[in-house]
């Protein structure tokens, strides 16, 4: 990714002068413009601190359309743009998380392995999508424009502005533009492909929060199933963390691995043949009284109900269930599994013992805000793909917040709407990550992988990614290939079982 310089790169003085930047037709305030010397990659909680260094760069913080909104609250689309001294000619937009509300550190670390985009010489931009607040505080949605900004307006505005500032600062436009995000950032990536199909050459969308109304309903289904079998406190309220003991969770994990671990050719505590994984929990059911190593009939019934996903009164599924995987009962590191202690939705925790799914589905479908936000499901991407755009998805198989099957379902619909699976693989690929939780983490997960390099190679050199190597802190010394769906990584039968080179991508 060598720089393609057409003129001398700017200095700290040029960075300082950006404080006076004015752009005709844009209500823009530059809040700060600071030259930051080269140095170590700074921490960005809750994400792990990365090794290596960043180049010297100019950080520009600004606000678009600052205004007074509902309740006299100040709104505006905040952004931060990092402009490296050693620029490689590219721009990357970094997605947000939760309900946003903060301007993230402009690093470009999503699915970039151990070397974020800024360290590679990309200009990187982030945004709060139009409001300030706690990561899961929805109160801003009382303001119409703030709600629209969060749904899709802000990312389009910031993308356009970032390209303009880049061109002014460096004296030439970015040669290529990329987007990378996970969760809400994954949804934003999909929105970019669907609503702004000419803005980005390549997009990475991880674990996209594309149907939060339905996914939260699924999580309530899980919570209710667990609450119904959980012990009660003195006030009669369920204690969900005690529904499954550590022994119970270990037994569940062991049963899943016993059923599916070797279907990829190697017993290694990881399940790559996800579509071939079928788990019969009857053997795990206690024959008599509850003891360690087996589960009560009520516990087994709760697991089956939770994993199946919610259905309406006519038996129609309203959100896909969850895949049996090594992390469904995880307790850490990372976000715990569906049956781990403390698991559940951060947005809609529930202590309910019953739920009316028909009523909840109707409420979701009739909620205008939900309709506006959950727009990232359109499969007509003919302009994006026809213009040479490339779209990579990834999703942790043990994600307890958004089922990997929902992303699989969208990807399969994408193929059906765009000439079939072979045709769509000419410009879009999906990588499932066994054991990984939501955007990362997992007791048995290899959650460190670089999708940015193959995306750039696909966009700029027409080299489609046939696999991506994954490693992780959870299992030091191990590597595996992530294969494009529906292929999976299968052990060749010979070679070092800890080395990705000993595996091949195989049809399921």
Catalytic site includes residue 479: no
Could you tell me which residues are beta bridge partners of residue 297?
Answer: none
* Residue 220 exposed, middle or buried by CB count within 10 Å (0-12, 13-18, 19+): buried
Residue 183 annotated to the active site: yes
Evaluate whether 263 touches 277 at the Cβ level (below 8 Å): yes
Give CA 374 to chain center in angstroms: 15
Kindly state the tokens that stand for 169.
Answer: 């600062």
Q: Report the distance separating Cα 244 and Cα 240, nearest Å.
A: 8
Task: Name 127's bridge partners.
Answer: 79
Catalytic residue among 33, 177, 183, 479: 183
Spatial distance between the Cα atoms of 66 and 75, rounded to a whole number of angstroms: 6
* Angle (deg, nearest 10), helices 212-227 and 297-308: 180
- Evaluate the omega torsion of the peptide bond into residue 462 and state whether it is cis, within 30 degrees of 0: no
100 φψ region: left (φ > 0), alpha (ψ -120 to 50), beta (else):
left
Say which of 201, 438, 447, 479 is annotated catalytic.
Answer: 438
Structure tokens at 284: 């795990």
d(CA 117, CA 88): 10
d(CA 208, CA 403): 10
Burial, 392: exposed, middle or buried (Cβ in 10 Å; 0-12, 13-18, 19+)? buried
399 classed as catalytic: yes
Question: What does residue 292 show for φ and ψ, rounded to 5 degrees?
Answer: -65, 140
| Catalytic entry in 149, 264, 399, 447 | 399
Contact indicator for 345, 218 with CB cutoff of 8 Å: no
Please say whether the dihedral angle defined by the alpha carbons of residues 90, 95, 101 and 103, taken in this order, is positive or negative: negative
Annotated active-site positions, please?
Answer: 183, 399, 438
């Amino acid at each position: 990714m060598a720089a393609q310089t057409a003129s001398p790169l700017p200095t700290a003085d040029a960075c300082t002068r950006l404080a006076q930047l004015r752009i005709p037709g844009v209500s823009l305030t530059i809040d700060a413009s600071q030259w930051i010397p080269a140095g170590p990659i700074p921490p960005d909680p809750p994400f792990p601190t990365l090794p290596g260094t960043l180049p010297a760069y100019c950080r520009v913080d600004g606000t678009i359309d600052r205004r007074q909104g509902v309740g006299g609250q100040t709104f505006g689309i905040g952004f931060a743009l990092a402009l490296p001294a050693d620029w490689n000619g590219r721009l990357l937009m970094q997605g947000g998380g939760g309900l946003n509300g903060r301007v993230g550190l402009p690093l470009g670390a999503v699915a970039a392995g151990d070397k974020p985009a800024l360290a590679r010489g990309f200009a990187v931009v982030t945004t709060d999508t139009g409001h300030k607040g706690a990561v899961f505080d929805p109160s801003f949605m009382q303001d119409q424009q703030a709600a629209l900004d969060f749904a899709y307006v802000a990312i389009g505005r910031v993308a356009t502005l970032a390209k303009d500032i880049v061109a002014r600062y460096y004296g030439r436009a970015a040669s290529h533009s990329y987007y990378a995000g996970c969760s809400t950032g994954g949804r934003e990536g999909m929105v970019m492909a669907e609503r702004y199909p000419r803005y980005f050459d390549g997009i990475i969308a991880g674990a996209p929060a594309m149907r939060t109304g339905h996914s939260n309903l699924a999580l309530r289904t899980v919570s209710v199933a667990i609450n119904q079998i959980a012990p009660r406190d003195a006030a009669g309220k369920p204690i969900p963390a005690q529904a499954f003991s550590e022994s119970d969770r270990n037994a569940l994990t062991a049963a899943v691995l016993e059923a599916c671990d070797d279907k990829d050719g190697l017993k290694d505590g990881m399940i790559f043949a996800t579509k071939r994984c079928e788990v019969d929990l009857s053997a795990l059911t206690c024959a008599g009284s509850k003891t360690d190593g087996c589960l009560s009939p009520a516990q087994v019934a709760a697991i089956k109900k939770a994993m199946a996903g919610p259905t309406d009164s006519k038996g129609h599924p309203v959100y896909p269930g969850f895949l049996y995987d090594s992390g469904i009962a995880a307790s850490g590191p990372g976000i715990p599994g569906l049956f781990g202690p403390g698991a559940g939705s951060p947005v809609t925790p529930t202590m309910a013992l019953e739920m009316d799914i028909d009523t909840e589905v109707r409420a979701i479908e009739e909620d205008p805000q939900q309709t506006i936000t959950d727009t990232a499901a359109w499969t007509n991407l003919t302009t994006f793909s026809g213009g040479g755009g490339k779209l990579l998805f990834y999703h942790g198989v043990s994600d307890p917040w958004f089922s990997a099957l929902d992303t699989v379902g969208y990807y399969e619909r994408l193929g059906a709407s765009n000439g079939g699976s072979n045709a769509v693989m000419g410009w879009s690929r999906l990588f499932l990550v066994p054991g990984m939780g939501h955007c990362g983490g997992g007791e048995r997960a290899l959650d460190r992988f670089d999708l940015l390099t193959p995306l750039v190679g696909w966009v700029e050199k027409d080299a489609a990614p046939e696999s991506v190597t994954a490693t992780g802190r959870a299992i030091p010394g191990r590597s595996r290939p992530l294969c494009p769906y529906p292929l999976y990584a299968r052990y060749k039968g010979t070679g070092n079982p800890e080395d990705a080179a000993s595996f091949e991508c195989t049809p399921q």
